[in-house]
Amino acid sequence: MPRSATTTDAFSAIAEPRRREILSTLAESNTEHDVTWLVEQLGWPQPQVSKHLGVLRQVGLVRVTRDGRRRLYSINGKELRPVYDWVKSYERFWEHKLQRIKERAEQLERESQRNHAQAKPPKQ
């Protein structure tokens, strides 16, 4: 069995760096743009841009509007939500590290304070 299709879902679609690049290009300008504009911005051959747009379109990551012979593309962020929700559910696994560093620092702090207090333990 081959890899799951790039058009399966957002996870597969954004695995390709160039498709992320298309999304970021659209995101920066914050407006819809036609394919020619994207081709100029990216500097890639037009068919390559169209094909990647096709994948993004199929998974709903971009929306298209027709304007004469042009097609205006814009980001449809809604489809990124599942990716966001998924990865966010692992938040504790990278915050945990900070948490442990913090706890360790606090413990060292306590020990330090204890040691300073008993720097020269009173003879008894």
Partner DNA sequence: TTGACATATTCCCGTATAGGCATATATTCC
Partner DNA sequence: GGAATATATGCCTATACGGGAATATGTCAA
Distance, CA of 62 to CA of 46 (rounded, Å): 17
Distance, CA of 122 to CA of 124 (rounded, Å): 6
Q: Is 101 in the site for a copy of itself (CB under 8 A)?
A: no
24 vs 115 by CB, closer to DNA: 24
Range in contact with a copy of itself (rule: CB under 8 A) among 39-47, 64-72, 90-98, 110-118: 90-98
Give me the least distance between CB of 122 and DNA, in Å please.
48
Which does residue 97 bind out of a copy of itself, DNA, none, counting CB within 5 to 8 angstroms by kind?
Answer: a copy of itself
Which does residue 65 bind out of DNA, a copy of itself, none, counting CB within 5 to 8 angstroms by kind?
Answer: none
DSSP of 89-105? TTHHHHHHHHHHHHHHH
Contact with a copy of itself (CB under 8 A) among 51, 70, 92, 114: 92
Q: Is 43 in the site for DNA (CB under 7 A)?
A: no
Query: Where along the sequence are the contacts to DNA (CB under 7 A)?
Result: 1-7, 16, 18, 34-36, 39, 44-55, 64, 66, 68-71
